[in-house]
Structure 1
Amino acid sequence: MPTRPHALQARSAGLLYLVIIAAGLGAELALRGPLLAPGDALATAENIRAGLGAFRLSLLLDLVMILCDVALACLLYLLLAPFSPVIAVLMAAFRMVQAAILGANLFNQTMALNLLTLPGDLPGREALALAHLELQAQGYDLGLAFFGLSCALLALILLRGPGLPRIIGWLMAGAAPVYVAGAVLRIMAPDMTGLIEPAYLLPVVAELAFCLWLLSARATRGVAPRSS
Structure 2
Amino acid sequence: MSPRTARLTGLAYLGLALFGLLGHLIIQSRLYVAGDAAATIAGLSAHGTLAGLGVAADVGVVVTQALAAVLFFRLFQPLGALPAAMIAGFGLINSMIVLVATMFTAAALASVRAGDPVPVLLMYELNTAAWTLGGVFFGLWLIPMGRLTLRSPDLPRLLGWILIAGGAGYVISAFVAYLAAGTTTVTTVLAVPASIGEFVMIGFLLFKRRWSSAPPAAPRLPLTPRPSSAPR
When normalised by structure 2's length, the TM-score is 0.87
1:52 pairs, out of 25, 44, 48, with 48
1:197 pairs, out of 188, 194, 209, with 188
Unaligned runs of 5+ in 2: 220-232
| Bigger helix share | 1
Unaligned runs of 5+ in 1: none
1:183 pairs, out of 174, 185, 196, with 174
Partner of 1:16: 12
Partner of 2:226: none
Which one-letter code corresponds to 1:118 in the other structure? A
Asked if 1:87 corresponds to 2:78, the answer is no
Contact 1:32 1:54 in 2 (8 A): no
Distance 1:226 1:138 in 2: 44
In the TM superposition, residue 25 of structure 1 has moved relative to its aligned partner by 0.5
In the TM superposition, residue 191 of structure 1 has moved relative to its aligned partner by 4.7
Q: How many residues align?
A: 219
In the TM superposition, residue 198 of structure 1 has moved relative to its aligned partner by 3.6
Q: Percent identity at matched positions?
A: 25
Partner of 1:130: 121
Where do 4+ consecutive residues of structure 1 move more than 2 Å?
Answer: 160-165, 185-195, 198-202, 217-228
Distance 2:184 2:209 in 1: 37
Contact 2:3 2:209 in 1 (8 A): no
In the TM superposition, residue 170 of structure 1 has moved relative to its aligned partner by 1.5
Distance 1:202 1:175 in 2: 5
Which one-letter code corresponds to 2:156 in the other structure? P
When structure 1 is superposed on structure 2, of 199-208 and 128-137 the one drifting more is 199-208
Sort the Cα spacing of 1:183 and 1:77 in 2 relative to 1 into closer, same or farther, 3 A: same
Compare CA radii of gyration and give the structure with the larger one: 2
Taking only aligned residues, the RMSD between alpha carbons, in angstroms, comes to 2.0
Partner of 2:110: 114
Asked if 1:37 corresponds to 2:39, the answer is no
Contact 1:82 1:225 in 2 (8 A): no
